[in-house]
Structures are given as structure tokens and as C-alpha cells.
Structure 1
Amino acid sequence: MQRRNLLKMLAAVPLAGGAGRLLAAPSAGGAKLLVVFLRGAYDCANLLVPISGSAAEFYAASRPTIAVPRPGQPNGALALDADWGLHPALASSVMPLFQKQQAAFIPFAGTDDLSRSHFETQDSIELGQALDRTRDYRSGFLNRLAGVLGGGSLAAVSPIAFTDQLPIALRGDAKASNMALGAVARNGIDARQSSVIEAMYRNTALAQPVAEGFSVRDEVQRAVKAEMDAAGRNAMTAKGFELVARRMARLMKEHFDLGFVDVGGWDTHVGQGAGTGYLANRFEELGRGVAAFAQEMGDEAWRDTVVVVISEFGRTFRENGNKGTDHGHGTVYWVLGGGLAAQAGGRVLGEQVVLSQPALFQNRDYPVLNEYRAVFGGLFERMYGLSPAQLNTVFGGVAPRDLGLV
């Protein structure tokens, strides 16, 4: 075997890290969590649109070419309540979930990290560690959650990232797998090559992770093959994230309890559009994916599932000279699930402020009023019944913010 071919094969080997077991049965409570990370910092001010009074006027004046029109106008926002509207690209996907009290939004959310760097802030969020402490890149917040759940009274959990590399959020001692689903049908390593690689690692410390990594790959391949066989007569027409979302749903429904996926394409410095255009197209694709995930889970599993959509930060409230927006601060989180609490589903939640120039952070951005570790902490407390000590393991030193989501 030539050295360059061997290196290519080794780079493609799926690994399962940490300790525990793969493809375990769902936890005793049946709760499932999927975190969707929008990398690139999406423009939340065009997702959740101020539609009343002085806030709506300030919004329109700040965005002369990219403001989403008010409800009732062509390509206008969809009224959620008296103050907020939703981007029209989500009319057939997320809006029905909101109307069924299966979706909620948390504006003015995010981290207190002020770097406005994509990479630094993404790392900050995935680590979930206090900003005044040295970063430990070996420990992500979802991995610590998996460790707490697996080591307590609940059955062992099975985390997976639907990504080509294990994200920081799932690094740590608890076993977590990763596998990108967009190109999962194309197997880069055949059975013979798999055997060669496993033989190379036999009787070494990596023998078990390599074998288990191939086990995860084979399980995913079987699930996708079954889907493709069925699609011969009932082919899906939607592309992109929707197809991946359906695959994720089938795998999480049967095998995994914690999931992570990231979606790119949100850095809109130039020509982002308003009710239509580039950003609207991204919202439409994402919305179709979220709705497809809910549908594929089925009513019973969807009632035990929570999907949280986050981004590293928001964007400037005022548009720039290129009809786009630049790196900002506060953003809007989405929370979806069939079991959202009656007082949470179909609402815009958390601490809020009327948008005006004095309300902007550093005269340019959404402020962060709902700190993400506190919001996640409150959610985990309700979803899993975690004790203060367990929550402190996941998010050290944070008082949970209970928004009554579930």
C-alpha cells in the first residue's frame, strides 16, 4: 500500500472518543436534545422583526434596504404577537410549529464574550466555561452534560455530532461519536480497507475507538441505505439541510439522545436581502429542515425532543454600506419541541427591551440580556431534573435561568 493512500485512509477513520458505549438505548426519561449551531452569526433582527410602535420605526430607519416589511405588506413579517413578527420565509415551516405551541424564541440571547470573532466566540459557546478562567479545550458543555446523565440515575446516554469532525461541544471524557450525513452514502473506505486499518491498531490503545467508530459508520450507512431504497418510488425533492435533518431524526429516534449539527452560510456582510434574497433563502432551507426533523421524529418522540438553534452572536442593528450587516453581539435563540410547556410554546420569551438607540449595546448591537449558559442551565434543570451540583458540573458557577421551556 502506498504511503499517501494509507494516510488518506487513516484521515477518514471514524473514531469514538471517551468512555461508555455506543448505540445505547435512550435514557430512562426518553428526553432527546439537538443543538443546531448556525456558524457565521445569522442576522437575528431579520428573523424576529419588531413590528409595533417606535421599535418598528427605529428598525425600518436603521435598515433602509434590508428591513423586512411590516405584516400585511408584500413579503412582510408574520405577526407572532403585538411586538414581534417572523421572517416570511418561515411561513410554511416554523410558523405552523409556533402556532401549535411547539416553537418559541428568546431574543437578546448570547454570550458575554466581546471578541466579535467567529472562531473565538464559537469556541466560547461550545466550551461553556466561565470567561474569566483559562479555557480547557478538552471539555465541551454537551460532553459534560452526557457525563452527568450517564453517571447519575438515568441510563447511559449516546451523544453524536452530525459533523465531519467532533466539535468542541462534545469533546471530553464521555463517549461521543461524529459522522457527517450530507455525503454519508459515499463510503470512502471499503470493507477490505477497514480490515487493514483495524489490524494496524490491534493491541493498541486505539483499537477499541477505531472498531467502535467503524461500528457507528456501518449503523449510519444501513439506516441511510434503507432510506434510499424507499426513495426509489417516493423520492424526496427538498435538498440541503432538510435531507440531512430527516436522517438525523431517524438516527436520534432509535439510537442517540444528544445531537449536534452545524449549518454554515450566515455571514452576511454584503447583499443579505430583506423579505427575499440571500438570507431569506437560508431561512427557508433551515426552516424546512427543522420542520422535516419534527415530522420525521413522529408525534410520540417529538414530545420528548427539544431542538435549540443558536449562533455565536448577532449582527449590527444598522445595515452597512454594502446592504449587509457586520459582526454584532446579542442574537435570538430558537427552541422547538412537541413537549414545550403551555406557557412557553408559541411565545417570545426571556428578558427584553424596547429597541431604540439607547438600548443598543455600544450603540450598534442587540444587548445580551439572556446569557446562554444560564438559559441552557434552566432548560437542563427542567429536562433532566439535574441537581445544583450536576448543573455546576455542566456550567460552573452559573445560576440557571428558568424560562419554563418544558
Structure 2
Amino acid sequence: MTTMIPQTPEQMLDCGCPENRGVSRRTLFRMAAVGGLTTATTLSGATLAFGAPTGTGTMVVLSLRGGFDGLSAVIPLGDAAYAKARPGIKVAAGQAHQLDSMFGLHPALEPVFKLFENGTMAAVHAVGQADPTRSHFEAMEEMERAAPDSNLRTGWIDRTLGSLGNPGGFGGTQVGSGAMPDAMIGPNMKFAMNSIAGVKLSVGEDLVPLARWRSAMKTLHTGAAPELKAPLTNALGAVGKMGPLQKATSKTAKELGYPDTGLGNALHDVARLIKADLGLRVATVDYGNWDMHVNLGRSDSGWMFNQLKEMSTALAAFAAELGTAGMAKTNLITLSEFGRRLEENGSGGLDHGHGNVVLALGGGLKKGVHGRWPGLGASALVDGDLAGTTDYRSIVSEVLKKRVGVDSTTDIFPGYKAKTVGLVA
């Protein structure tokens, strides 16, 4: 998705990001496609593209839209070039939570310190794309298509669902937004919803009982080929399964310790779907507002601090809600289109860069910070940026194989041979 969470006027100062000033042609096409699909299925609060039998586990992709600064989150304290390049916004060694001789965590990540210590959270640093770009739109599109040097127009999550036999129901689900990300573009069936509570069947403003929809579908599809019946059949089946979740009495996201925000509510809904065992294989959640060209803030306050605090609080609550059993069959990873430059700019912020960090949460992780650290010396940088020494597709491949049960990622990432990262045991 190319839509960003709205920023404050101060944050929206001219940052050299022309793609943030209007709606791109790609966005218009996506809006048209989603709008047509919503009209066809006439669902309120959800977009269906359907499909999912129960698998071995669930992968959750938390997309950090806007260019997450991994150097602020998992800080290379042992690399002297870090502090030198960021005199005004650095996190000092004494302020960070030390992980090892090289890396420490930003103090705003305090809610997940224990998760790193017990091995239910880990990280991979210096992660990048094969052909990096500093354009938000191009970088996001390429990351979610994940097929450079090919003419494929589908997304990697869609291809993953295809490799699993196009599972139905909630196999691939976007939560927190009714618009699907580019990673889900393609013919396989998915489900997108703003929230569990918001999924309703309606015509215009009027709610229509599920039984009437099924009756109308039976009449409409009399004599129709199976491939024509499947989308609406799966749609109504998915909505039918949602009913018990909507009626169940449970604690609210806020009562469970989530921040009372879109991110907190979305992750709470993902946890509910996982615990309900509805066959969720890949879930996606968007969390934007990381495009910090100005006033990134201090180690104890400001834009970055607040963002990291909200995210880590939500992740800690997510882990607690899933519990040991739920975490054992779940892996969440963060992905962002690019990192930020090493040197802070004159506005106390950071411009678009390259190498980044991927955070991971869940069962079966190997403790620590993984990946080859290239260093921040001048000769190691790529045009002023942290080099990307681990391709993000290798991380995704490892999780898909070891958590989701994908046999091979050859067709998911065509032309790419994934390397062992060692993140998932």
C-alpha cells in the first residue's frame, strides 16, 4: 500500500518526496480494482478476494511504511561511526539496552526488552533489496512484488497462497485496512478488513442476513461453473465463520495492554484470528508515519521515541495475548521499503537510505542480532547508506518454510536462491 498515516504539519514539511504530494497512478488503479471488488461482493468493512485450510502456522508481516530507521531501533553502539554521524539524535551507549558487544535497543523499546532476552524476539540487521531505490513508491512496489528482473505483476503473498493450493477463508488476510497491499495482488483468494467487528454483509446502508445472501447466491449461480461460484461461496463462508468471533465476549485491546490505536486494534484482531484457528497462513498489518526527515527527536522523547513506544507496546501485548501456545505457531516480521541515511540532516532528521533492520517475534527464533554487519566506515557505505548484506527475501523464505509450511520458494521469488539467515531454528 502507498497510503501513509497522516503526519502533523511539522512532519509534512517539504522533504523531497514528490510521491507524498498526491495520488499516484498505481494508487488509482489499486483503488479502482478494490472498489470494483467491493461492489461485486457488497461487503461493509471488508474487501474479499477470498481463500485457506489450516496450516502449520502463521506469518504476520508488519509493514513499516515510510522508511523505518533501523539504526535508531537496533543501534550499532560498537561502531564508532554511528555516534559521529548523528551528534544531535544519537542514542548513547548508557541509554540503550545492550544486546551484545555491538548492538543495543532504543530505550523506547523497553516493553520488548524481556522478549529479546528470552529469545521470543530477534533481529536481522543490514537488510536490503537487490536493486535499491530512494523512491517510496518504487521501493514498496518492488519489495511487495519481490520479482526483480521479471515481468510478474503479482505480489509475493499471492504467490505464496498459490503455492499452498490457494487456501480459502482467511488464509491470506489484511487487517486494519480494507485495501490490500501490493504483496497480495493476484488471482489467489484473500480477505481484507478494517476490523473483525466491522465485517458486515450489506446492500447500500442496509444489513442483509447471511441466509438471504446464500439464498440469492444459490439462485444466481444455478448451473454456473465451479470457478464462478467459488469467490462468493468462499466470501459467505468466511463471513459466516466471523460471526462467532464477533459475538464472543472478550477483553478489548486496551484492556489487554495494547495501545488504543489502529496498530493496537489490528494486532489484537490478528491474535484473535490466530487463536480461533481459522486457517490463517499469512496476515498483513500496516503501520506508517516513519518518514522522519525532520525532528526525529531525542532518545527519551519525540517522533521516533513515540513511534517505537507504540509499536513495542503493541508487540508485547500481542505476544502476551497469544501466550506460549499461540507464539509457538506464529512468527511476525517487520518489513520497510528502505532504511534511512547514516548521517542526520540539518533538520534533525534522516533522509532516505538503504540498509535496514528486520525485527522478528514468535516461536522458534534464534536469539540475538543476525546477518552480516558491514560496518559504517566510509568505505563500507553505499552512497552514504548502510549496505544491505542480507536480502529480505531470504528472511521471508526462511519463515515461510519453517513456520508456514511452504516446501519451496522458487516460484514465490523467481530467479532468487534464498540464503540461510539462521533466524528461525
Which TM-score applies when normalising by structure 1? 0.82
**Equivalent of 2:267, from 220, 239, 245?**
245
**Equivalent of 2:73, from 17, 29, 47?**
47
- The alpha carbon displacement at 1:385 in A equals 6.0
- The alpha carbon displacement at 1:288 in A equals 1.4
Equivalent residue runs for 1:149-188 within 5 Å: 149-150=164-165, 158-162=171-175, 163-181=177-195, 184=198
Cα distance between partner residues in 1 of 2:242 and 2:381: 46
Gaps of 5+ in 1: 1-5
The answer on whether the counterparts of 2:201 and 2:207 sit within 8 Å (CA) in structure 1 is: no
CA deviations over 1:330-352 (Å, ceiling 9, x no partner): 11001111222xxx22x110111
Q: Which residue in the other structure is 2:414 paired with?
A: 396
The answer on whether the counterparts of 2:294 and 2:348 sit within 8 Å (CA) in structure 1 is: yes
The answer on whether the counterparts of 1:179 and 1:217 sit within 8 Å (CA) in structure 2 is: no
Gaps of 5+ in 2: 1-34
- SS where residue 104 of structure 1 aligns? strand
Q: AA paired with 1:184?
A: G
Q: Which residue in the other structure is 1:37 paired with?
A: 63
- The alpha carbon displacement at 1:220 in A equals 4.0
Cα distance between partner residues in 1 of 2:389 and 2:118: 27
- The alpha carbon displacement at 1:199 in A equals 5.2
The percent of aligned pairs where both chains have the same amino acid is 28
Equivalent residue runs for 1:228-267 within 5 Å: 230-231=251-252, 238-240=259-261, 241-253=263-275, 254-255=277-278, 256-267=280-291
The answer on whether the counterparts of 1:379 and 1:403 sit within 8 Å (CA) in structure 2 is: no
Q: AA paired with 1:143?
A: D
CA deviations over 1:91-129 (Å, ceiling 9, x no partner): 12x211111111111111021233211111111111111
**Segment drifting more, 290-299 vs 208-217:** 208-217
CA deviations over 1:49-79 (Å, ceiling 9, x no partner): 1222xx2x321221121111222xxxx1110
- Relative to structure 1, is the Cα distance of residues 277 and 222 closer, same or farther in structure 2, using a 3 angstrom cutoff? farther
The answer on whether the counterparts of 2:59 and 2:332 sit within 8 Å (CA) in structure 1 is: yes
The answer on whether the counterparts of 1:184 and 1:221 sit within 8 Å (CA) in structure 2 is: no
Which TM-score applies when normalising by structure 2? 0.78
The answer on whether the counterparts of 1:15 and 1:212 sit within 8 Å (CA) in structure 2 is: no
Q: AA paired with 2:59?
A: L
Equivalent residue runs for 1:333-372 within 5 Å: 333-340=358-365, 344-345=366-367, 347-362=368-383, 364-372=384-392
**Segment drifting more, 253-262 vs 9-18:** 9-18
Q: AA paired with 1:84?
A: F
**Equivalent of 1:16, from 37, 40, 48?**
48
- Relative to structure 1, is the Cα distance of residues 15 and 328 closer, same or farther in structure 2, using a 3 angstrom cutoff? same
**Segment drifting more, 197-206 vs 241-250:** 197-206
May I ask how many residue pairs the two structures share in their alignment?
374
Q: Which residue in the other structure is 2:86 paired with?
A: 63
- SS where residue 125 of structure 2 aligns? strand
Q: Which residue in the other structure is 1:119 paired with?
A: 137
Equivalent residue runs for 1:167-316 within 5 Å: 167-181=181-195, 184=198, 189-192=205-208, 202-203=220-221, 208-210=230-232, 212-213=234-235, 215-217=237-239, 219-220=241-242, 222-227=244-249, 230-231=251-252, 238-240=259-261, 241-253=263-275, 254-255=277-278, 256-275=280-299, 276-316=301-341
Q: AA paired with 1:107?
A: H
- Relative to structure 1, is the Cα distance of residues 385 and 400 closer, same or farther in structure 2, using a 3 angstrom cutoff? farther
